[in-house]
Each structure stands twice: as C-alpha cells, then as structure tokens.
Structure 1
C-alpha cells in the first residue's frame, strides 16, 4: 500500500486499512489504536470517519472513538434478521480483536448497509406471510409499538361488537404492523388499528354507549321490579298510562301472561279476576315488564321520576365499574363518595385513565358503593 507496517501489526490492518488511515498512522496523526478501530470499517466509511476525526479541535481518545463506533453499530444478538453468514464476517466485531487488535465489544456489526439489507429481506419475508390475512402491513420503530391497539369488542379498549366487525371487514386502517429496527427484535402486531386518533374516538364512543346501555338496563329493571310492589289500583293506572302513550306490547306478551293461542279477551278477564290479588299483581307486572322492555329510554326515566322510584333500592355497584369511566367521571364518583385526593391518586391521574381507575378502585370499597348510584345513571 506504500506505507510501512511493523511486523507486529495485526494481520487485518494490512488487508483492510485504507490508504488514508495508513498514512495518518504513519505520520503519527492518529495512534495505532485509532487505526485498528477505523480499519474494521468499510473502506469508504474509514475515509469519512478519519476526515471527521481530524476536523475536530482535538483528537478524541481511543475509548471515545470506540464508544462512537459502537453507538452506530448493529448489535447482532438483538437483531432479528438471518445471521447464518455473519459468524466469520470481517465486519463482525467478534473477529476484530484477532484481525485488528483494538476492537469494540464483540457481537456488533459495523457494516450498516449489509445489516440493513438483511433486515429488509427479513421484513419482506414477514410481509409475505401476513399478506394473505391483512389488507395493510406497516413498518414502525419499536418505540411506537404502543401506538397501535388491537381491534376487540370488549375490554378497556373495546369497540363494541358492531364497530369491531366494521373495523375488521371494512376499514383501510386495520391490519398488521411490523415494529422493529435493524438492531432490535421485530414485533409482529396483528389485527390492530393503525390510526390511533380514530381508535381513541371509537373507544370513547363505545364506552359512552356502554354506559348508556347499563343505565338503560338499570332503569328498566328497576321499573319492572317496582311495579311488582305497587297496589292493584296503581298498577292498573300505570298500565293505562303506558298503553295510552303508545307503549306497545311485543308478540311474546302471551307467553309472559301464560296465555295459549285460543285465549279470548273475555276468557282472559274471567281468569284474571278469579286470581288472588298477589297472583294478579304478578301477572300485571309481567305484562308491564314487557311494555317497559320496548319503551323509549327517556320515557322510562320519566316514569321512574313520576313514581318516585329510588334507584339505589334496585342497584348494586362494584368497584369494577370504575374501569369503564373516563377520568372526569372517576373524579365525579370519588367526589360523591368523599374520597380524599391522595398523592397516589394524583400520580395515577397524570398517568392516564387505566392507572387512575386502578388507583380509584384501591381507594374505594364495595361497602362505600352500597346504595350509591352514579350521576350518569340517575334519572
């Protein structure tokens, strides 16, 4: 190469050092340690790194150069691509101590172009495996794997049955994500939404719809149970009010009243008038229950108010309910229950809804919820 190397020079230095690196070492501009680290790189990279070193106000130490090269190298034990031909490669730092003397930590690849090519091949193989199942397949850094959520109907991030089905079958944002980089494992996330903003909105909508559905079930169940406790005259008045305002009975009312297909109004009247009062009230409540089941929710609430029904007599809450609430709704419940705002609750609130719900559950006992009806459930 035109530059003298001592006989004790590492074998790889003569084989792989660039002209510039040898010249700089011969002129004592850099040390043999610097040269050993540089000549492990690709020839073009050696020259660029040397030029950058010499442009600095003062020459970095060998240890500093070593750390800089390691920071840009690919850690092979963490990489997901095929490494069958990496073992004896001259760019594998495991071989550098023998080839060059001074070296970075073993198990590092200093040829980023080759490593990137292998990683892209690895991704393409994964993409081909997933293509038959998913419309879209995206690639994202490992640091972003939490930016994607599974499309599920139930749970903290549930979308409801219908919305989850629509997302899976129709949405162009539903698919798979390959999370990783050239120097990290690759995480395959399947059946996920890749549009977090949209997913958050739909989860919130499903959460609110779920709460409304729970409130609706409570209202209807409370009204039906309350009707069974009313005197006969009041029960009749309630039935008249329901029917006069268009509350319609479903087709299975006959079954609820234990009637056969041949029953006539006169026959039913005769039968019911012969019943004991308690039995008649039970049948009237069954008929009213069927009317309640199909009535508009807001009218059910109005009926509860007109009858002065105490929802707490028919409601049973548990701490699990807190998981379904937003941060502001949890605030509301804790305020209603006079729960002191501890530092732990403040930290959990800053961490987000899941952490806040968990902390709230730890601060509230089921006994505290006995007889409590959340504001969003009240009529």
Structure 2
C-alpha cells in the first residue's frame, strides 16, 4: 500500500466529500454540544482526517466535527485538516480506529476538567460553561460529582451504578455515601434513580446535622420525630420530610454566615462542591508562599477573602485568608521562587567577586595602588547589600470596586482644584491639550454651575445673552472664568478617562499629600483587612504598639476611631498605596 506523510492545512468545507464512516447515528444533543464547543473555542482541538479525491478531498475521520463545523460556519468556511493519501483498506481501518478511539470523556473526567476551567474563570460558572460549550445546568451537575468518594467513582466507572445514582450520592456526607452505595450495590435488582432519590433525601435531611436554627422544627408537621417527646429528642431522632423548606433554611443560613464576613473581607463567597480549584490559601512562606511583602500587599486585593463551605461534610464552616484568583496566586508563587533563585545567584557571584578581590597581591611599598587595594577589601562588592534586606518588587493587585470608586472621585476632585487654580501657563496648557484631543470631555453644565456667581446667577442657552454677559465681566473675573474651563471635565463613558486625569496630575507634578490625608470617610470604604494593611503601611500599627491588637479586635467603627486618635502621630503626608497614582 502506497501512503504519504501527513500534511496539515485548512480546506474549504464544500470541497470535502462524504467518506466511509462506520458511524451511522449522530446524537442530536451531542452534536449541539459539539457546535457550542466549537463556538466557544473558536476552532477545533483536533483536525479532521481526509485523503485526496481528484481535485477535492474525501473524509476519512471526523464526520461529527465536519458536520458541526458546517453548521457553525457554513460550506464556504475553511476547516483544519490533516491530509494523507491512502488506499480504501487503510482508509476504512483508520475510520474504524478513529470512531473506537474517540469514545467520549467519562462524566468524572468531564467533572475534573470543568473544575479546573472554573478555577481559571475565578468561580464564574456562566463563563466556565461558555468555555466548555455547556449549559450552566450541565456544568453544575458535573461539578457536583467532584464530591463523590472514590468507591462511588469506581462504581460509576465500572458501570455498576448509573450517572444519576452518582449525582445523588455526591451531594451526601461521605459516611452517608458509603452506606447508601453499599445498599445500592447489594440490591438484587438495581434501584431506579427516582426511587434512590427518595432514599437519599430521607437520609440527607437529618435535623440533628442541620446548620440552621431548629426552634421551629420541634412542632413542625414535617418533623418525623416523636412529636410528644422533648425538643432535643425530637431533633436528635427526627428527619425533615419537606426538602424545599430544609434547603431554603440551609441556604439562608449559609448566606447569613457569608454576610457576617463582609465587614472583614473584600471577597466573600459560598463555595460548593467542584469549586475546589477556585480558591487557595494565601500564605507568605513555604513551598506555596508568595513572599512576606507580597502577601501583605495581596491582603488589600479585591480577590482576598473568605468562604463558607456548602460541601456536605463541611457545611457552614468558614475558611478565611484565601486568594480567589488561583492563576494570579500561582504566578506570584513562581515570581517569588524566581526572585529567590536570582538572589541566590547574585549572592554567589558576590561571594566569588569578594574571594577574587581578597587574592589580589598588594605591593610592598605603600602608595596609591596599595591604598586602592586596601580600600577594595573593605568596599562593598557588586550585588552585596551590606546586610540590608533586598528591596523586593511587590506587585500591588487591583483593589476592590469600592476603593476604586473612592479614589477616582478623589483624583478627579484634586484634578479640578489643581487645574482651576494652576498658573496661567499650566492652566492653558491643560485646556489646550483637552481641546486638541477630546474637546467633548469639557463639562459645560458643570462650568455654568461653578460660574453662577461670576455670571450674575442666571444661566442661559442663548449664545448672544451669554456673550453679552461675558463681555461685561471685569478682566479679573474673565480670567477666573476661563481658568475654570479646564478643570471642568466630564466623567463616565463619554468623559475624560481616569488614566488621562492621572497623567495630567503627574505632568503637573501634583502630590496627593498636599491635598488629602486619611480620614474616617476613607477608612469606612475599606474592610477591616484593608484597614489593617493601610495601618501597617502608614506606621499606625507600629505607633500604637500593643494597643493596636486590642483595637484590631474591636468592631469596624471602633477600630477606625482608635487608629485615627493616636497621640503624637502625624497623619498628613502619609499616603496609602491604595489611593496613590
């Protein structure tokens, strides 16, 4: 048989003829999912396989991909393909092998892949579902499988239980999974998924393990316990037969525990089975540490927070000091490792340099050269920091939206104040730059409000009337009015972007410390963790010494009051990085 090497290229769909595919049935739902996957990925992970047929091509393997591609992009589109010339026997064998080898991923494999993609999407289930070409419902079902214990996974893999059985088992506590699986496997006739669902619901809704307040459950008609018994006995022996009520109370309790954490942390979530790749503990040292300075900076990030677990065995438990951006955390750990390796190499190079300097032979008679050599022995060699800690570059993450909104408002107010009162040259320079780039950013309405006193308190949309009023102004008032123009710029989508505001402030060499200092209003915008970071950064914590820990343990309002009343502490001139431009 004559064959040629594979060649890869893009081929127009209309040039590909039907092949000798042994697969006759194409599941409609499966095809829809494949089409969604192609849209989400923007292409194919694996090209189709074709052979030449006169001036066109014949399909050997990949008919599902070809059909889905045609449905998404049409006959005129080009599809990635591998070309291999082969005779009929080899083509038939390749087609058969392709269909056997392309057995779909198992649900458990899909669950693990989905969990990793969800981590990349920072817990955004809608985005993860889009990337995988799934519905959110399908994603939720697959992610739930991540909590299935190993015997359940093995039973599903060996097809001893159905996928529906595994999905029901995965929502149970681990000890319940063990007993329920044993019952399911020991049944002479396999229980239907619907019948098994009733068994699981009965086992799962145990009142004794409920995390919500059970005061109302004692006299409830849906409590299977002995209604005449004491409350504790009713709860200990009872099960809830109203799943909807039980679930609603559980969700309300989870939400309540999450809300209680929002004063302390920037990012608070309820984490469910399958979301184990969406969070990671933020640690400074060790194999997974980001570094001491970086960890401190990360605590002010919008993705620093806490979670309330919704997994059956950890239901309601709180986990704090977590990073909600796992890819970023991985990057920071890699950066720390890279910095440590670079520092070690620099230290070794410095050591070798010092050793080389110590081996230099000094002339017998004193002179300038000897003095230089002697000085060389005591001098600090390149790369040596004389015992001082190396100035490490710390990446300051994005702050919370609350902080970003506050600082943008602050920066814009400083811009308006500075530009309106700037020297004639600087004021006109800013005005000219605005007129040459984005004249539409000027805020006529805001300017009119600011100039009411100068213009006589009357506003008008008549050019003639406004001009007459302006012509009557004194030269000093006219100059003041013109100076106010550049400071009045609009914000929002149609206004001057905050990056342009900052560039102007930097160009004018404006120092925020001359216009602002930390105050109650600023700290009220922060979580207690953000306040803690700022207090450490500005030296407030050090100034308070032992009293700081006591203040940190107080409620947010009292904490703020304590750190703003430190005797002898100079607050002016200390600008936190959260609001620095």
TM-score (norm 1): 0.45
TM-score (norm 2): 0.31
Computing the radius of gyration over CA atoms, which structure comes out larger, 1 or 2?
A: 1
